[in-house]
Amino acid sequence: MASKYPEIQGGGSLILAWQVRGKNVLVIGGGEVAAGRIVHVLNADAHVTVVCPRSGLNDEVAHRIAAGQVTHIDRPFAPSDLDDAAMVLCAVDDPAASTEVYQLCQARRIPANIADVPPECDFYFGSVHRDGPLQIMVSTNGNGPKMANIVRRKVAEGLPENAGAAILKVGELRRKLREVATTAEEGPKRMKWMSKVCEAWPLEDLCDMDDGDMEKLLGHYQEANVPSLAQIRAG
């Protein structure tokens, strides 16, 4: 008899939107892989420290340092570098040194990613599509990074060009709604009404919605009604 509940598929990862804003992220290495990792964590507003001899920096990492986007420690890794780290990203071509970093992180309970060594990773970097607030990650759980890139491009090709802009407007409307319906008891009703807006309005109308339209739309919240943009502007 088929179950009405989702089937469990073991062997996956728990994919989360990890908030590292304002946290200290340590990057060990300064090559191409390190450069990609740095972009990811800078986009998440982390404080980034790169430990690598200057001779090992590629052009992109050197640019981040010169622009003051990251802090640079000009020497090989030392265990004391972990003292203030909330996350460690290791990208060096030295398996023994990488394993040492991972073991030190495990002992200190610091989440770590050791590039190209899946068994020594507490988390993986997937292939990410970014459009403003919209982020979509494709992960192969360490099996095939190139395949993740291919799948991510296919997914991105199927998305509307204005998806990110529409999400920005939805976020603004949601914040305004919280000012109208402030109590915790209103939570379920807020969520249900916002879902109706997202389902009823096309992306083009969400993008075109201005502050005046939002105020008029919010006037229909108490009745749980969701008129169209044309109806709001006609009224």
Residues making up the chain, counted from first to last: 235
Measured between alpha carbons, how far is 147 from 56 in angstroms, rounded to an integer? 29
Cα–Cα distance measured from residue 78 to residue 23, given in angstroms and rounded to the nearest whole number: 20
CA 116/CA 142 separation, integer angstroms: 8
User: Is there a contact between 180 and 152 (Cβ–Cβ < 8 Å)?
Assistant: no
Calculated CA dihedral for residues 108, 113, 118, 124, nearest 10 degrees? 120
- Whether 80 and 101 have beta carbons less than 8 Å apart is answered as no
**Interstrand relation of 47-51 and 24-28 (parallel, antiparallel or unpaired):** parallel
Choose, from 45, 83, 84, 116, the residue flagged as catalytic.
116
CA atoms of 59 and 62, how far apart (whole Å): 5
Assess whether 116 carries a catalytic annotation.
yes
Q: Among all residues, which ones are annotated catalytic?
A: 116
